[in-house]
Structure 1
């Protein structure tokens, strides 16, 4: 207890003869055996009480047969084990969710605490630099609790005094590999305590089929896919603006079409209007009959955005002094402006005047449109500031597969990647990574990993066949497309065609 370590005396000795070994006898203060026994017994009792308090189910499972064997013999103990096993199997088959919540996950948490985390805690902490070995003693962060569910372990840790959250954020890779997980995510529980999330499996590894069209008429939140824990992911579109950033083939269309699919009942009821801007003429044109207004030519896109600003300002004038938030009605429906490739209209637009009009309109909508029921959902590939200088005006952001780690913080905010948003590690294979992304909600700084459902071409055709109405044709914004005689590039005729059906280019099937 009061023993001096050998190193304490050695550093005070100086030898002037190089070939002579330093010989010393360390000073030792002997502690009475009674004091040592009392200290060890108190620690043992405190540890047992803490173990029973934290893991009652795991302790009761082996304790009850042991006590029965000691008091009544092995036959009653064997009968008790068989009875408990039968009850457990019956419970698990009849109501699996409650069995897992009350028994299954607690047993798994106790097993992983003992076999995975407690067993490897000291070497992982020392090697990663989160613990210290000083003068023969280990100073380690305290492992407080392990909780399990269907997909991950959540480990509560008490940091050492003097440690910062950044010390742990910089070592998430070491922690993940040290405890045998593919990744590690960190969140702050309270001052001095962190929660480390170690996934055991990936519920988002396989593509998700299109979410069924809801039966209830609602403007959101819209169910568009699933979260990493297996629960449905619902995207808020009414009362906010959403920015989707991802490289080519990352699955931005899955988020756009899943949102459209979830709003179809409200669209038919007249509570929602979908205004689509499709400068690439590839993504949203496939279901243009679903949109209240549709534009592809940059001039018409600018006009559509100006009209949205006019609607927004007209509503703001009527709502002033009467209401502070928008309630969708058939007279004032929720207007969702969908922009497939916003960078084409802002950063890559050669017409300077047109570029300024579009940027100003988007900035006005994203700063003033939420309260009056005008929302913007924009998708882009490059999240750099010079490409999208108004990205901070979008409260909700989604980062799909990105090319560089720095782009993650550009989309989700500073420190998002350190907290586990590894968007640059998403697989480029479509079956594994298309539609997978990290979401930072307006109310939380911690990223959430989600996957949007894949809406196939057949699903879109069925949506158009059942939900396209005469009010969703927007003839003035439907632009004819013709193929240039000199090359295979698509040339857009900017002349509006009123009352005429849209003409599809060669090789592209017309919808509707």
Structure 2
């Protein structure tokens, strides 16, 4: 039934059953043992040099101790090691900040690299689909380095040739789960390199009490809370416009009152004025004495107040024309901040069409022309849809508190913000955990930053009113 195969092909025959194809064993090239040993030796040398280059301290310390042991014996080695440990402990106790910066975080980064990221790197890359298998060869993104600080691990990664940032932002959930983190954020450093941020703790979990009122009058960036990395959160209000979006109870009032609190010394000195539009009659009315008559709650009064702000802006522009290009606050020309709470009620839900058009036109005029003459707008709303707030792109700085839907994140912060880690729809609805927590995207930086505003209580607002009233009585 079968023909005899000529030559030496018969031993290579694996199957000759009638219902299957003939399969031959692949050719095997036998490598001499000496060549194999040379290859492994070269790989070992390369890995050793790379390890010493990347981790000089971790390699030099055991090498130095080994040299002391070989030359002077174990007694001196133990003495030197004990002295070094005591010196490090004294340093950590006496100057914890410098110790953490120069030693502590580096040791933690090395430990996290070896115990977490290097250990699981290949498996996570394979399962998440970020590694590529071509012609039987696996191409793996390279983990360049790991850096640690008080709240997160930052991994610098070299992407594969041909990969895009979106390939990584689409797999942030896979990366976070694979490395045991609660979330992952992706940021492009330069061509071909990414920084993956894996938080280890949440510095913003606890509410922040109201910050102290500044001593010096200033309209510069006002401190209103804390960033996720522990640094103070300073919000620029002079020379820009700010849009705040968040669901009910998300903490929009914290950003409004923290801004007023930071500007209070300048308001007392006559260098700043806050004009308040409060159609909800609940948030800003509690401290209406601070606004010196520039307060409106009725939609018609809100439209009149906005028209007055436009008039002030246009008069300043006419006086500044040809003389100056930026505004410097003075008593004659103070910085004017127009606060609008629940702006959607005025621009979208207002039944009077004429008032709605007046208000929308005035806000658009202020947002396009007010920055250079010292008239800023800070608007807060719940629904960020375009049909509700069609001028949201005129606000350079945007803040997204807790939102109801994932699509709303990109509506507020811009396209791709959620893919880069701005998970505003995942902020906890529990007031103690999520009130005042937000993602902020500034004009000067496209990357969203997680922040939390301090909580200004009713007693804090009464204190502010009393302090401002004292200024009025003294005058």
Residue 204 of structure 2 contacts residue 228 of structure 2 at CA under 8 Å; is this kept in 1? Answer: yes
List per-residue Cα deviations over 1:441-483 (Å, max 9, x = no partner).
Answer: 10111110000011111111111111236869xxxxxxxxxxx
Q: Which residue of 1 aligns with 2:139?
A: 139
Distance 1:381 1:189, change over 3 A: same
Measured in 1, the distance between the counterparts of 2:469 and 2:56 equals 58
List per-residue Cα deviations over 1:275-325 (Å, max 9, x = no partner).
Answer: 011111101111111113111111111010000000000000001111111
Residue 290 of structure 1 contacts residue 469 of structure 1 at CA under 8 Å; is this kept in 2? Answer: no
Local SS of the residue matching 1:468: helix
Measured in 2, the distance between the counterparts of 1:30 and 1:221 equals 71
Measured in 2, the distance between the counterparts of 1:449 and 1:271 equals 31
Distance 1:112 1:353, change over 3 A: same
Residue 438 of structure 1 contacts residue 449 of structure 1 at CA under 8 Å; is this kept in 2? Answer: yes
Measured in 1, the distance between the counterparts of 2:368 and 2:299 equals 22
Q: Which residue of 1 aligns with 2:9?
A: none
Q: Does 1:357 align with 2:358?
A: yes
Q: Which residue of 2 aligns with 1:481?
A: none
Q: Which residue of 2 aligns with 1:220?
A: 220
Residue 14 of structure 2 contacts residue 24 of structure 2 at CA under 8 Å; is this kept in 1? Answer: no
Q: Which residue of 2 aligns with 1:398?
A: 399
Q: Which residue of 2 aligns with 1:429?
A: 430
Q: Does 1:273 align with 2:273?
A: yes
Q: Which residue of 1 aligns with 2:449?
A: 448
List per-residue Cα deviations over 1:229-265 (Å, max 9, x = no partner).
Answer: 0111100100000000000000001101111111111
Q: Which residue of 2 aligns with 1:82?
A: 82
Local SS of the residue matching 1:263: helix
Residue 14 of structure 2 contacts residue 25 of structure 2 at CA under 8 Å; is this kept in 1? Answer: no
Q: Which residue of 1 aligns with 2:238?
A: 238
Distance 1:368 1:173, change over 3 A: same
Q: Does 1:384 align with 2:391?
A: no
Q: Does 1:120 align with 2:116?
A: no
Measured in 1, the distance between the counterparts of 2:215 and 2:122 equals 54
Bigger CA drift: 397-406 or 62-71?
62-71
Q: Which residue of 1 aligns with 2:418?
A: 417
Measured in 2, the distance between the counterparts of 1:117 and 1:71 equals 37
List per-residue Cα deviations over 1:420-446 (Å, max 9, x = no partner).
Answer: 000000000000000000011101111
- Residue 14 of structure 1 and its aligned partner are, at CA, apart by 11
Bigger CA drift: 199-208 or 78-87?
78-87
- Residue 19 of structure 1 and its aligned partner are, at CA, apart by 5.3
> Gaps spanning 5+ residues in structure 1: where?
1-12, 473-512
- Residue 215 of structure 1 and its aligned partner are, at CA, apart by 1.7
- Residue 48 of structure 1 and its aligned partner are, at CA, apart by 2.3
Q: Which residue of 1 aligns with 2:258?
A: 258
- Residue 75 of structure 1 and its aligned partner are, at CA, apart by 1.5
Q: Which residue of 1 aligns with 2:316?
A: 315
Distance 1:61 1:206, change over 3 A: farther
Residue 152 of structure 2 contacts residue 201 of structure 2 at CA under 8 Å; is this kept in 1? Answer: yes
- Residue 20 of structure 1 and its aligned partner are, at CA, apart by 5.6
- Residue 33 of structure 1 and its aligned partner are, at CA, apart by 4.2
Distance 1:16 1:362, change over 3 A: farther
Bigger CA drift: 372-381 or 136-145?
136-145
Residue 15 of structure 2 contacts residue 23 of structure 2 at CA under 8 Å; is this kept in 1? Answer: no
Measured in 1, the distance between the counterparts of 2:135 and 2:456 equals 62
Measured in 2, the distance between the counterparts of 1:220 and 1:359 equals 28
Residue 277 of structure 1 contacts residue 296 of structure 1 at CA under 8 Å; is this kept in 2? Answer: yes
Distance 1:45 1:376, change over 3 A: same
| TM-score, L = length of structure 1 | 0.87
Q: Which residue of 2 aligns with 1:500?
A: none
Residue 57 of structure 1 contacts residue 106 of structure 1 at CA under 8 Å; is this kept in 2? Answer: no
Distance 1:273 1:26, change over 3 A: same
Residue 58 of structure 1 contacts residue 106 of structure 1 at CA under 8 Å; is this kept in 2? Answer: no
Q: Does 1:181 align with 2:181?
A: yes
Bigger CA drift: 449-458 or 34-43?
34-43
Q: Which residue of 2 aligns with 1:298?
A: 299
Residue 220 of structure 1 contacts residue 238 of structure 1 at CA under 8 Å; is this kept in 2? Answer: yes
Residue 222 of structure 2 contacts residue 263 of structure 2 at CA under 8 Å; is this kept in 1? Answer: yes
Distance 1:315 1:81, change over 3 A: same
- Residue 135 of structure 1 and its aligned partner are, at CA, apart by 5.2
Correspondence list, 1:62-81, <5 A: 62-81=62-81
Q: Does 1:55 align with 2:60?
A: no
